[in-house]
Amino acid sequence: MEYLSTEKILIIDLASSAVEEEELEESLVSEKIGGIGITKYLYEKFENDDPIVIGCGLLTGTTYPASASGVITAKSPATGKLAHCPITYKVGVEIKFSGFDYIVIKGSAATPSYLWIHDGVADICDAADIWGKDVWESTEFLRELVGDDLLQTIMIGPAGEKQSDYAQVCYNHWNSPDRFGFGKAFGTKNLKGVAFRGMGLIECADVEDYVSRSLEILKEVKANDFLSKQGIAELASAIGEENLTDWLAPITHRHSADYFTPYATITALFMDEDPKIVEETKVAEPGILTSDIYALIALKKAGFSAEDAGRLLRETAKYGIDPLAVVELSGKTSLDDCTAAFDGLSGSLALKGKGIFSSWCPARPIFNDFGLSGDDAEAIAWWERRQAVAGIFGIQPLFALMCPELSEENMLELASLGTEIDLDQDLLDAVVAYVCD
């Protein structure tokens, strides 16, 4: 598998400390394409070892618009089913740049460990210095240890170490789309987290045409009016939910986007410093980044001020726990009460569709209607297909719901152009059916 790929699958056995590599065969890509098509295949291959599979979409890290995401595929401790959680922020692309397309993590470590994946090297490291630390402390510790301020991490906090059903894997410092309790899956393996960094290059067949075609598609995308908007509050309004805009405005500092994604799905909230001041922050931790629409909606409905909502999101990010679970299952309405309830949660959150894809992502189109009639069943079926396609190709899952210009047709076109493998609609239909089964 020469193009759009590192050509490598990493197999790590935490129990024996064995680290092996397999070649990513072109035949596998021809059959399962990439992303969740292959992570599901690898999960099934190693199912007896209760694996966690981390992977990239086929287009992740290229010039295709919004080709930002990776995925975690594992059995959800919360639902008992196989589920796929998108890897967002800049973490998804770093996986591929660090030298592997797919990482299979089997077994459980005898003592707390973390994985350090860098430039095609995979090290199982002793996590004694960070076990017991929160997500922020752990990420900062590793960044200082390796001397890299841009180290990307998937990390658990105390919730995962304690194997809470609501433990979330966090990306760098921030809450993630994990509604599946994958933090517990990490914790049961004595796996504190995975750190990624690399300076790998991705080879592309016919690179000039690939880039040129990517830019054409990007131009079509940019014709959308919604790109004049930004941030999480606009997303909430677009899906007909609570108006978060006025509520968040006093503490909104800025918006940012995942890799090469035209819409800024991430909002930075400053609770402890005036967000209007344009200078280097004087406060160590003035705020948070968030892309969790439903957690914010729940917090507003529960009567939280925006500042306290932000502070609670900060505490959930540090603790490594699903903020929506905290708000909805605790029934608490104050910052202190919610924080005190982290370890005492019970109950379950509603799933969407078959519960394969994260309910962090709205189960409907955003900004564009994609020609849907408004029927709920139709919307769910459409949503699951759209999430499946985004997961296969590595498209930012929120943006995939916004932009009909990112069509299955042009994803297949670019994938075929970039890999020189003939990937067609029939194959995609088959892989979608496979992952949605």
Partner 1 sequence: MSLRLLCLNCAGPLMTTTKVISKIGIYAGGGTSHSWLWFVDLFENKGLHTLAFLNENDVQKGLDDLDVLVISGGDTFAVAEALGPSGADSIGKFVHRGGLYIGSCAGAYLPMKSSKKPLDLFNFVDVKITNLSKILPATVKESLKFCTSYGCDFIFHPVREEISMKSSNSVLPFCPLTFTAPLYGGPGMTVTDPSLVLATYHEFTTHTSFLVSEALAGEILLEKAAVVRVPMGKGLFYLFGPHLEHPKYPLANQFVSDIIRWETKPLECPESPASFSHREITPLKELSGKKKKTFVMDIKRELSNSRIVAVNLEFLPIRWMIGKKVYEPEKVRVFLESMWSRIKSLERIDRLRVFSGDLETIRAVSIKVTQGLRRLKRAVDDNQDSLGEATKIFSWLQQLSMAFYTMYFFTLTHKDNQPPPSV
- Residue 125 touching partner 1 (CB under 8 A): no
- In the complex, the smallest distance separating the C-beta of residue 378 from partner 1, rounded to whole angstroms, is 48
Contact 155, 138 (CB under 8 A): yes
- Residue 121 touching partner 1 (CB under 8 A): yes
Task: Work out whether the CA dihedral 356, 361, 362, 365 comes out positive or negative.
Answer: negative
When the beta carbons of 187 and 198 are compared against partner 1, the nearer one is: 198
When the beta carbons of 197 and 253 are compared against partner 1, the nearer one is: 197
The token pair that represents 421 in the structure block: 């493998």
When the beta carbons of 149 and 426 are compared against partner 1, the nearer one is: 149
Q: Is 22 helix (H, G, I), strand (E, B) or coil?
A: strand
The position carrying tokens 């993590």 is 105
Tell me the β-bridge partners of 9. 22, 102
Footprint on residues 147-166 left by partner 1 (CB under 8 A)? 147-150
Candidate segments 65-73, 117-125, 332-340, 377-385, binder of partner 1 by CB under 8 A:
117-125
- In the complex, the smallest distance separating the C-beta of residue 118 from partner 1, rounded to whole angstroms, is 5
Candidate segments 69-77, 115-123, 267-275, 420-428, binder of partner 1 by CB under 8 A:
115-123
> CA-CA distance, 307 to 87, in Å (whole number)?
27
- In the complex, the smallest distance separating the C-beta of residue 227 from partner 1, rounded to whole angstroms, is 30
Among residues 146, 215, 277, 283, the one that binds partner 1 under rule CB under 8 A: 146
Tell me the β-bridge partners of 289. 268
- In the complex, the smallest distance separating the C-beta of residue 99 from partner 1, rounded to whole angstroms, is 9
For residue 19, the Cα-to-chain-centroid distance in whole angstroms is 25
Among residues 23, 123, 343, 409, the one that binds partner 1 under rule CB under 8 A: 123
The token pair that represents 95 in the structure block: 């996986």
Among residues 2, 47, 144, 209, the one that binds partner 1 under rule CB under 8 A: 144
- The dihedrals phi and psi of 434, each to the nearest 5 degrees, come to -65, -45
Close Cβ partners of 141 (under 8 Å, ≥ 6 residues apart)? 129, 130, 133
Candidate segments 113-121, 160-168, 241-249, 323-331, binder of partner 1 by CB under 8 A:
113-121
Contact 268, 281 (CB under 8 A): no
The token pair that represents 435 in the structure block: 């992952």
351 DSSP assignment: P
Footprint on residues 179-198 left by partner 1 (CB under 8 A)? 197-198
- Residue 96 touching partner 1 (CB under 8 A): no
Footprint on residues 199-218 left by partner 1 (CB under 8 A)? 199
Q: Among 177, 172, 179, which Cα is nearest to 157's? A: 172
- Residue 119 touching partner 1 (CB under 8 A): yes
- The footprint of partner 1 (CB under 8 A) covers 118-121, 123, 144-150, 197-199
